[in-house]
């Protein structure tokens, strides 16, 4: 067992279990008077768990942590304290964690240790810490969705996915930052300010689940949940060098997410896991999947096992350029290295691109702008928001500019259906479609609406509703992570994850940031 840290019981819990105080810290550059979130640190830095043998554990996989806990090589209390300590150390620079549940997490860890001592294993995530994107509700923790109208909103119950994680033994550490209503491929809002990338603090960790990608990459959380309507769990994973998956539309219930499910483009978005290891994505997905009898889009479809996939029977198509946004040379090179790794593992690999994919950006933008921003404005009004972040202002301006009439909308939906049919026809010949996550490697703060076509690589699989995983496949000349994307047929998440595991093992996967 890792040597016990010299903390007295309740030291971390000396502040309220639901942290309500936030402080500005130097170095934050938000759009408003909001600043980076700092938490009171009652730890002795020289005597912290971080300094006493936890480094390898904290940068490892959640699956490895679970195995160590079951083998009683460390306790849940030690693990939770070490993660809390790490958050305190890195959050002033990252501004990733915006609500922290110290007392509650430690109390649950003590219960987990007592249960394990009795031989009572609650589930596959027994005693393992996790974090949540601030759009996903957790009982008793402020859940803003990044918009000012909800800055004091406290949910009375957990989202379905949170309840399922807790039932599997996982312990919630806190909530992480996101842009207003999730409407950006970066992470910044008027309540908490912007979140920074642990590989380069002058850059964004992506969005909209950028708080998750930043704190997971920095070793402050074992895994987390985000949501994805255009790449929002995949693009942050690319930016921060971790793994993620957007499941098939209808796989995971979104009850308790803000904004909630429903509407004419409901099939475009899903909740999905982010982690440092591909094996963790499958573990978490097994826990959170399946109907909850509230989200009407979710069906009881079995989830396959990645280990059952026969790599020598896998048919892989890859492309480096989608015909919309030409990739940087190092992005294309990463995709080719990934293709080579799959070929060496026994898969049949060929370069091929669905012709219809070039329509992605036009269809996606048209769908999101069809009502001229009326739906988004109504959502902001219902939340009580009267002041918008500059990125939200840009989104609304673009929507107003691209509004369409009802006849035009009918034609658009028909075009979308034709796109999905054509894409599905292409996959009759393949099991996996390998591509870039984005045309660009680095995400500059404030640049979302100056580079929308670069996100078309992820938008494609929101339009089709297929599962798509991301894993790190390289490092740029500036030391930044480069992810690649693996899409598979509907309901075949296990195939995408099996291919991602090959690339992770062959090309190195996650690397610790220099933070």
Mean pLDDT of 282-303: 98
pLDDT tens digits for range 461-487: 999 999 999 999 999 999 999 999 999
Are the beta carbons of 493 and 248 closer than 8 angstroms? Answer: yes
The answer to whether 303 touches 285, Cβ cutoff 8 Å, is yes
Asked if the model's pLDDT at residue 143 lies above 60, the reply is yes
CA dist., res. 267 & res. 248, Å (int): 9
Phi, psi of 150 (to 5 degrees): -110, 20
Name every residue whose Cβ is closer than 8 Å to that of residue 421 and which is 6 or more positions away in sequence.
none
Which pLDDT tens digit goes with each residue over 81-91? Answer: 999 999 999 99
Alpha helices in 314-471 (DSSP H): 329-344, 360-369, 374-382, 390-401, 406-426, 456-464
Q: Of 234, 294, 32, 24, which is closest to residue 147 (Cα–Cα)?
A: 32
| pLDDT value at 49 more than 70 | no
pTM of the model: 0.92
Mean pLDDT of the 174-202 span: 98
Q: Is 133 a catalytic residue?
A: yes
The percent of residues in the chain predicted with pLDDT above 70, rounded, is 90
Confidence check: pLDDT of 447 > 90: yes
Sorting pLDDT into bands at 50, 70 and 90, what band is 54?
Answer: confident
Q: Name the active-site residue from 204, 232, 244, 435.
A: 232
Of 19-28, 281-290, 326-335, the least confident: 19-28
Compute the distance between CA of residue 446 and CA of residue 461 in angstroms, rounded to an integer: 25
Return the structure tokens found at 192. Answer: 């908490």
37 — pLDDT class (breaks 50, 70, 90) = low
Whether pLDDT at 355 is above 80: yes
132 close to 170: Cβ distance less than 8 angstroms: no
DSSP 330: H
At residue 53, the pLDDT reads 63
What average pLDDT does the segment 218-229 reach?
Answer: 98
> With bands split at pLDDT 50, 70 and 90, how would you rate the model's confidence at 44?
very low
**What is the per-residue pLDDT for 20?**
33
User: What is the chain's mean pLDDT, rounded?
Assistant: 91
Catalytically annotated residue among 61, 133, 209, 227? 133
Percent of the chain, pLDDT > 90? 89
Length of the chain: 515
The predicted-structure confidence for 68-117, as pLDDT tens digits, reads as follows 999 999 999 999 999 999 999 999 999 999 999 999 999 999 999 999 99
pLDDT tier at 238 (50, 70, 90 boundaries)? very high
Q: Report whether 329 contacts 486 (CB < 8 A).
A: no
Q: Which residues pair with 204 in a beta bridge?
A: 443
Predicted pLDDT at 1: 39
Q: How confident is the model at residue 56 (pLDDT cuts 50, 70, 90)?
A: confident
C-alpha to C-alpha distance for 17 and 243, rounded to whole angstroms: 30
Confidence of residue 52 (pLDDT cuts 50, 70, 90): low
End-to-end CA, the chain: 27
CB 249 within 8 A of CB 290: no
Q: Among the options 208, 213, 221, 277, which is catalytic?
A: 208
Is 55 labeled as catalytic in the residue annotation? no
Residue 34 pLDDT greater than 60, yes or no? no
Look up 73 and say whether it is catalytic: no
Question: Which H or E element spans position 44?
Answer: none
Kindly tell me if the per-residue pLDDT of 424 is higher than 80.
Answer: yes
């Amino acid at each position: 067992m890792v040597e016990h840290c010299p903390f007295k019981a309740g030291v971390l819990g000396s502040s309220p279990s639901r942290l309500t105080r936030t402080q500005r810290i130097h170095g934050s550059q938000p759009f408003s008077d909001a600043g980076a979130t700092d938490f009171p640190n009652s730890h002795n830095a020289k005597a912290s768990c971080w300094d006493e043998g936890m480094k390898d554990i904290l940068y490892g996989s959640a699956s490895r942590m679970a195995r160590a806990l079951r083998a009683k090589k460390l306790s849940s209390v030690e693990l939770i304290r070490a993660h809390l300590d790490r958050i305190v150390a890195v959050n002033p620079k990252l501004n990733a964690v915006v609500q922290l549940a110290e007392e509650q997490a430690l109390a649950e860890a003590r219960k987990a240790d007592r249960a394990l001592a009795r031989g009572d294993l609650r589930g596959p995530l027994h005693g393992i810490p996790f974090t949540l994107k601030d759009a996903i509700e957790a009982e008793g923790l402020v859940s803003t969705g990044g918009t000012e109208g909800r800055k004091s909103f406290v949910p009375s119950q957990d989202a379905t996915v949170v309840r399922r994680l807790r039932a599997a033994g996982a312990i919630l550490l806190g909530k992480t930052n996101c842009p207003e209503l999730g409407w950006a491929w970066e992470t910044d809002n008027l309540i908490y300010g912007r979140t920074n990338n642990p590989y380069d603090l002058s850059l964004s960790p992506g969005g909209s689940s950028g708080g998750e990608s930043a704190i997971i990459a920095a070793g402050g959380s074992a895994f987390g949940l985000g949501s994805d309507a255009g790449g929002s769990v995949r693009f942050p994973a690319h930016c921060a060098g971790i793994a993620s998956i957007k499941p098939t539309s209808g796989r995971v219930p979104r009850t308790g997410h803000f904004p909630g499910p429903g509407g004419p483009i409901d099939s475009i978005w899903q909740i999905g896991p982010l982690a440092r290891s591909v094996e963790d994505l499958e573990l978490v997905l097994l826990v959170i999947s399946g109907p909850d009898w509230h989200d009407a889009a979710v069906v009881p479809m079995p989830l396959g096992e990645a280990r059952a996939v026969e790599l020598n029977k896998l048919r892989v198509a890859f492309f480096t350029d989608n015909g919309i946004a030409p990739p940087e040379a190092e992005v294309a090179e990463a995709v080719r290295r990934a293709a080579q790794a799959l070929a060496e593992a026994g898969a049949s690999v060929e370069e091929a691109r669905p012709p219809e994919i070039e329509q992605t950006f036009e269809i996606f933008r048209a769908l999101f702008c069809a009502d001229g921003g009326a739906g988004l404005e109504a959502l902001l009004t219902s939340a009580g928001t009267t002041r918008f972040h500059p990125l939200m202002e840009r989104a609304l301006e673009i929507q107003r500019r691209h509004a369409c009439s009802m006849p035009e909308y009918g034609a658009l939906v028909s075009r979308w259906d034709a796109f999905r049919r054509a894409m599905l026809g292409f996959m009759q010949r393949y099991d996996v479609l390998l591509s870039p996550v984005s045309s660009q490697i680095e995400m500059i703060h404030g640049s979302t609406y100056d580079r929308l076509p670069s996100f078309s690589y992820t938008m494609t699989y929101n339009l089709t509703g297929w599962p798509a995983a991301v894993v790190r496949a390289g490092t740029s000349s500036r030391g930044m992570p480069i992810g690649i994307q693996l899409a598979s047929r509907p309901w075949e998440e296990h195939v995408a994850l099996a291919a991602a595991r090959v690339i992770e093992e062959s090309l190195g996967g996650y690397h610790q940031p220099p933070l």
